[in-house]
Structure 1
Amino acid sequence: MDFSQLTDAMASRSYDKVADICDQLMLQIASQGVAFQDEWPYAVHLLGHIYLNDLNSARFLWKSVPVSIKESHPEICAVWKIGQQLWIRNYAGVYDSIRSFNWSAEIQDFIASFTEKYTRRMLELLMSAYSTISIQDTALFLGMNENDATNYVMQQGWNVDAASQMLTVKKQVSVTEQKIDPSKLQRLTEYVFHLEH
């Protein structure tokens, strides 16, 4: 099996491409009728779908992994625990699942990148949902202790009220770009032309 494309994606930290590369390779190998179960990088493939927040594909992949592989490769089960916590929206559980396993060197950077991406996504969720939130709840959502969570959000411009242990969320300014529909522009041009002549 030629995993060079996958190896290149992992080496360049193009983690958003991993799931698609693995899916294509799996289809290609399966169409050739080659048995690949023991050699397949299931943990990487599964994490690729989880990285993209494609939980349905992750779930189907998990169900297709042979029981013997699940039993002999605990890292695959550890990756799936992350997926399970995402599925039930247990935000703190996602971080607990990440911290509770000693990841292999092959997947360590991928896990770190997922954790960073997930933390940013949680921060964006908090900014869109709250104007004020407790330090304790913020720490839970960000998978940090209260001091680290407070420092992290203060770097994002949030304010802290030490007396009430509440954080004031700094909303991101959203810039919306208005796109002109070409057909509307054409009609406007024709209308102006008609008025002038």
Structure 2
Amino acid sequence: MDKIADYKNLVPNLERQELDTALNGSTSPQVYGQLLAIYLLINDLPNAKLLWKRMPDDIKVGNADIQAVWSVGVKLFQRQLDDIYALVDQYEWPGHLKNIMNCIKLSTQERMLNLISKAYSSIRMKEMAILLGYTDEETVAKVTSMGWRYEAETGYIFPAKLSPADESASGSFDHLMTKLTEYVAFLEN
């Protein structure tokens, strides 16, 4: 997902805006909202929590958009995927958050597909529909388009394993170790 990389590149700029305006007054709710949403998008949950804690109470309480982004974040922390999809779809997001929130939904679905591919040799179609936030028909269409096998008689889906190229794109061991190292370094400082 190229959009995720584009949004990730915005983080330093938004963090700088937060710091600059914190010295001179109050940061705008738009900056806080975008930064919080992007942290959730790039799966940087520790920084999302820290941003929420340092955000002024009047902005947290007085801004429905930021509360809605945080609600999605809470569901991400709790791994309540079906609630994430519902929250993203049901809320009327403002222009500065709409694309980011849709990317959160799509990237969560993509992560679930990768996880299912790695962890399951078979899964009930109904369970997979919940994990992806799809209807039964959308689930069957998605998995068959990916080359996975669906048996209508049993209601089971048989995921195909990812190719090595797909696996490296979804997150290599080196990439995961780098993220872990960065997280530990962050905690130590």
In structure 1, the residue matched to 2:13 is: 21
TM-aligned CA deviation for residue 37 of structure 1? 3.1
In structure 2, the residue matched to 1:159 is: 149
4+ runs deviating over 4 angstroms: none
TM-score normalised by the chain length of structure 2: 0.79
Q: Measure, in 2, the Cα distance between the counterparts of 1:43 and 1:102.
A: 14
| Change in 2 beyond 3 A, CA 1:125/1:107 | same
Q: Which has the higher contact order (CA 8 A, sep 6+)?
A: 2
- Higher share in helix: 2
Q: Measure, in 1, the Cα distance between the counterparts of 2:69 and 2:150.
A: 35
1:97 to 2:80 alignment: no
Give the residue type in structure 2 aligned to 1:101: Y
Preserved CA contact (<8 Å) 1:86 1:94? yes
In structure 2, the residue matched to 1:185 is: none
Preserved CA contact (<8 Å) 1:19 1:46? no
Name the stretch that deviates more: 78-87 or 36-45.
Answer: 36-45
TM-score normalised by the chain length of structure 1: 0.76
Q: Measure, in 2, the Cα distance between the counterparts of 1:39 and 1:88.
A: 25
In structure 2, the residue matched to 1:65 is: 55
Give the residue type in structure 1 aligned to 2:94: S
Q: How does 1:48-197 map to 2 (within 5 A)?
A: 48-174=38-164
- Secondary structure, in 3 states, of the residue corresponding to 2:150? strand
Where in structure 2 are there 5+ consecutive unaligned residues? 169-189
Q: Percent identity?
A: 24
Deviations 1:140-179 (A, max 9, x none): 11111111011111111111100111001111122599xx
Cα RMSD (Å) = 2.2
- Aligned pairs, how many? 165
Asked which structure has the greater CA Rg, the reply is 1
Where in structure 1 are there 5+ consecutive unaligned residues? 1-9, 178-197
